[in-house]
A and B are shown apart, each in its own frame.
Chain A
Amino acid sequence: GQNIDQPTEMTATEGAIVQINCTYQTSGFNGLFWYQQHAGEAPTFLSYNVLDGLEEKGRFSSFLSRSKGYSYLLLKELQMKDSASYLCADHNTDKLIFGTGTRLQVFP
């Protein structure tokens, strides 16, 4: 089966930078998605990487290394509203395989 691994919980301070890591199995890989999900709400799309390297979108950046089966989501200038779960998902044979998510708590 496919394994997506990411930390269960992380904490950070408002204004800081946090990096959320994700590892996945490389067979059948066709892209890596990151979603944000606030408690009780729908996941919302943040980023997509299919080639190696860094994709930057404002305060959020996502990195991919296909050879290592590794990605990270970088959140800069953290705000209280960034407190949420961050889901890593492997796009594999036309389906998304989700990790269990990383719950990020931002403190003032």
Chain B
Amino acid sequence: DADVTQTPRNRITKTGKRIMLECSQTKGHDRMYWYRQDPGLGLRLIYYSFDVKDINKGEISDGYSVSRQAQAKFSLSLESAIPNQTALYFCATSDFSGISTDTQYFGPGTRLTVL
């Protein structure tokens, strides 16, 4: 079984709809992240969470919200989707404890298309 899973893997929706992307991990990591990837722009951080009670905005948080339901679950919501939110979305986790290097491990991605 994959350590970091994302659902759905693909989603097509219409402008104005509310969308939730979910991420689960079995790595036991405290830190979780949401990124979007657009051609030519690389990976950009949307939100991150260092534990269940900690939520932080990243570089491009406008139009998005998150919920850290448990150590293993971190969901990303688009309250009212717009076409320029069409992108590939990745969840990642990392472990910053002891001698860990805080290496991030990525889920398989969710391809979201907003029409």
Give the interface residue-count category, chain B. 20 to 34
Q: How many A-B residue pairs have CB under 8 A?
A: 44
Cβ A98 vs Cβ B42 within 8 A: yes
Cβ B109 vs Cβ A48 within 8 A: no
Tell me the chain B residues, 44-103 only, with Cβ under 8 Å from chain A. Answer: 44-45, 48, 50, 58, 88, 90, 96, 101-103
Give the interface residue-count category, chain A. 10 to 19
Cβ A95 vs Cβ B90 within 8 A: no
Residues of B participating in the A interface, judged by any CB pair closer than 8 Å: 40-45, 48, 50, 58, 88, 90, 96, 101-109, 111
A sample of 6 inter-chain contacts (CB < 8 A) reads A31-B101, A50-B101, A94-B96, A96-B43, A96-B45, A96-B104
